[in-house]
Amino acid sequence: MSEGDEVLDQAQAWSDAGLGVALATVTSTWGSALRPAGSQLAVNDQGAFAGSVSGGCVEAAVVLEALETIRDGKPRRLKYGVSDEKAWEVGMACGGTIAIYVEKVE
């Protein structure tokens, strides 16, 4: 079973158990990004999550946005990143961006 299948299975299990669920999906990346497009993170209304969209760098922010999506039902387009110039200033080799789409699972 692939990691993507495991995330979707967990989302389905939470939904079947009556929990609110949101699914975050990486839609695009540029430069330094730990997870490729298509990576997913499932979040339930209790704050538990499965999967990863960034390798931990922005997971907390995405979980908070997912909780809001569960509450209000509105999908969100998120973008996180750092320019090459800013990356160099803090000792990173290069910058990067990640775009994520968050939607409520019905």
Per residue in 12-62, pLDDT (tens digit) is 999 999 999 999 999 998 877 778 899 999 999 999 999 999 877 789 999
Residue 12 carries which DSSP code? H
What are the domain boundaries of the chain?
3-105
Q: Using the predicted structure, report yes or no on whether residue 88 has a pLDDT greater than 50.
A: no
Position with higher pLDDT, 5 vs 102: 102
> What is the pTM (predicted TM-score) of this model?
0.86
pLDDT at 85: 58
In degrees to the nearest 10, what's the CA dihedral of 10, 33, 62, 66? -50
